[in-house]
Structure 1
């Protein structure tokens, strides 16, 4: 018997800037090439998914997966303020249509960290008019593809910068480079400050307003999309003496943001690991404990913990929009995912309304400041030829999806 309900979404996720390539109008592209850039290397052609998406969606479907979360790129759609590219919008409509033709449910993210250069230069999310600019963009995208899209994620991980500010949590490879945010996470002393990048604002009021106005634009149609946003739900645990500090961090970085989701159709849960908080902040991973390429503890129970927290706090259905691990050991990826899914199945058995599991990520891709060093993908990508190689973990997950469990 299936461990998951009928219609459960089994799939994988990507982000446009990380896989498409050639996103030259984006703030991140400019920052990647700037002197003193915090990025290990530029994104360049990435995985050329912009042109190879039919192949990638076909592979996903052939594996047995029935859902694909991908993003539409704001910097392509509105490369100059007020100018919307019909060609770019048509491209994303074709992507959605390709999913549907393959029997794959499209889950579309409107904003996944990359922004038009003009938006970043105008102050990004903290700039005047940011909320209205994003809502205008969401309205235009919905007008063009909304009739075909059943699931919309407005903003990816709007709480990420808040999480980093309050806990200093980040991949090990980027904890010292500041991600281009010298005001919140200082760059190494004397390092040049790169051009502005419009990372989400740590101000929850700004991001909540942007999400709400965008959600209203999506709900105005066409179509009848379920709308939510995705949150970085780090499994924060208190160590001895850190109870008060942990509670405060949970409130500011997780609970307050989950409260915003109470008015949504679902909440996207994105969890990879846990972090323990002591009286002075985050504690290091204990000696001898397995870690991923990102320096995070291998801790599969984090997913179930975050799903239960999200369901209880937000009171809406949960869609797991990201979960996975950066590793070059594919057997370790399978073991991690199996354990995470076992915990997720227990959530479902206990009555938690979980609508799907979307693995991060479909393709080995550009992992922000870490460049191409981190391999989260179910499918390997040759950095020169773009040739795809399906990993055993992808075939394993497809078999689980076909059977609906067990693992």
Structure 2
């Protein structure tokens, strides 16, 4: 790194000072000792150029369901030090990031020492900025070779995933603060609940068929489109094996699992909450109880349900740019559910809102933190608040039109511009008051 480059990165944190000073802090109560304030991001959505991934193929096939291609994304593969400088300069103390299986094991059984070294440099740079790294080992994407052989729909997938996790733990585990296996491991169960999913099935089948033809692999499988009844038990076994593999080489490294934990509310009596919670979580509750040191809550909204399924948002409700209801109160309810159902230390590993109105982002953060404070007052062990996301990144099939970031990213120059919401969360974190 040249001196000019180092000075530039140091300046990224300093440039935030006026915003931080201007942000209004509303003292509430001291956060618990060791509370993690931070942001979350995935490798694929921010790094760019991940050509060995199943997601890259799905973006580029003829029957793609993606509105845009990821391309260079935020170029965080090269600009990670700048991202850490911004996060550290804000006053955050945690950075949830991912490593990409497709980079680390680009072909079956062949692990890239160069890519492992790259992620080691990232973790060292993260720590140098005063940020504790929480590392996600799989965030919806897999190596193309893995998808071509059947993904998580074939019986030996758990062994392959555990082998990868062990390799990462051996090389990188000493640099991690915590790790999780799957991001939102129940994502397929969530998709099955979404209104209108039946209308999307023809397009899904066409996309998978196109991917199979493009790779000459009739067993092609991508997690986002796979049969939920098939992949759920296989992924659960993959998590258990990965947990054991990591613990075998890094017994003191906390290993957890995150689920998508939307607040389920029943439209009438008798209550249907328990029925729909079972649909959303399946057997993952039992897996988290037996094979997790902590549980990651990832909440964005509520689902109001009746006998027909999940209802559309109420008439007149404020909607986010992601299309669902603006409802930050959901977080407190899912924390309470997780505490009662799972009983492990709880970390809020994702909470955020897609909007072009940064005042509403600030309001969302404040109201979500109100719920965390209420849960702490009730004696529930909540250990973090990680906002999704630091950057406006690639939001899968929605492309770049769904801005969650505390920091805007210019799509041509990659210039990072912190929003007032970044300073707001940073001021709260610096004060360590919730």
User: Where on the TM-score scale, by shorter chain, does this alignment land: which range?
Assistant: over 0.9
Question: 2:203 aligns to what?
Answer: 187
| TM-score of the aligned structures, taking structure 2 as reference length | 0.87
Is 1:9–2:36 an aligned residue pair? Answer: yes
Is 1:199–2:248 an aligned residue pair? Answer: no
In 1: Cα distance, 2:242 partner to 2:323 partner:
35
What is the CA deviation profile of residues 7-48 of structure 1, one whole-angstrom value per residue up to 9, with x for unaligned ones?
100000000110000000000000100001000011000000
Q: How does 1:28-47 map to 2 (within 5 A)?
A: 28-47=55-74
Task: Tell me, yes or no, if the aligned pair for 1:13 and 1:68 is still in contact at 8 Å.
Answer: yes
Alignment partner of 2:301 out of 251, 268, 273: 273
Change (3 A) 1:49 1:18: same
Alignment partner of 2:399 out of 371, 376, 389: 371
Question: 1:181 aligns to what?
Answer: none
Report the RMSD for the aligned CA atoms in angstroms: 1.9
| TM-score of the aligned structures, taking structure 1 as reference length | 0.93
Question: 2:136 aligns to what?
Answer: 109
SS of match in other structure, 1:17: helix
What is the CA deviation profile of residues 214-238 of structure 1, one whole-angstrom value per residue up to 9, with x for unaligned ones?
1111111246211111100011111
Task: Tell me, yes or no, if the aligned pair for 1:25 and 1:116 is still in contact at 8 Å.
Answer: yes
Task: Tell me, yes or no, if the aligned pair for 1:149 and 1:223 is still in contact at 8 Å.
Answer: no
Question: 2:150 aligns to what?
Answer: 123
In 2: Cα distance, 1:242 partner to 1:94 partner:
54
Q: How does 1:107-256 map to 2 (within 5 A)?
A: 107-165=134-192, 167-168=193-194, 178=200, 185-187=201-203, 193-195=209-211, 196-199=220-223, 202-203=228-229, 204-222=232-250, 224-240=252-268, 243-244=271-272, 246-254=273-281, 256=283
Question: 2:47 aligns to what?
Answer: 20
In 2: Cα distance, 1:387 partner to 1:100 partner:
23
Change (3 A) 1:372 1:242: farther
Return 83-92 or 222-231, whichever deviates more.
222-231
Instruction: Give, in angstroms, the shift of residue 191 of structure 1.
Output: 7.5
Alignment partner of 1:291 out of 297, 303, 319: 319
Return 187-196 or 265-274, whichever deviates more.
187-196
Q: How does 1:253-332 map to 2 (within 5 A)?
A: 253-254=280-281, 256-263=283-290, 264-332=292-360
SS of match in other structure, 1:276: strand
Instruction: Give, in angstroms, the shift of residue 189 of structure 1.
Output: 9.3
What is the CA deviation profile of residues 260-301 of structure 1, one whole-angstrom value per residue up to 9, with x for unaligned ones?
111211001100000101121111111211010011101111
Change (3 A) 1:188 1:141: closer
Return 203-212 or 68-77, whichever deviates more.
203-212
Gaps of 5+ in 1: 179-184
In 2: Cα distance, 1:205 partner to 1:190 partner:
25
Instruction: Give, in angstroms, the shift of residue 148 of structure 1.
Output: 1.6
Instruction: Give, in angstroms, the shift of residue 169 of structure 1.
Output: 5.5
Is 1:391–2:415 an aligned residue pair? Answer: no
Instruction: Give, in angstroms, the shift of residue 116 of structure 1.
Output: 0.4
In 1: Cα distance, 2:282 partner to 2:134 partner:
24
Alignment partner of 2:389 out of 340, 361, 366: 361
Alignment partner of 2:372 out of 344, 349, 360: 344
Change (3 A) 1:7 1:188: closer
Task: Tell me, yes or no, if the aligned pair for 1:38 and 1:177 is still in contact at 8 Å.
Answer: no
Change (3 A) 1:190 1:228: closer
Instruction: Give, in angstroms, the shift of residue 205 of structure 1.
Output: 1.9
Change (3 A) 1:208 1:121: same
Aligned length: 394
Task: Tell me, yes or no, if the aligned pair for 1:150 and 1:224 is still in contact at 8 Å.
Answer: no
SS of match in other structure, 1:187: helix
Larger CA Rg, structure 1 vs 2: 2
Question: 2:98 aligns to what?
Answer: 71
Task: Tell me, yes or no, if the aligned pair for 1:146 and 1:223 is still in contact at 8 Å.
Answer: no
Question: 1:48 aligns to what?
Answer: 75
Change (3 A) 1:319 1:192: closer
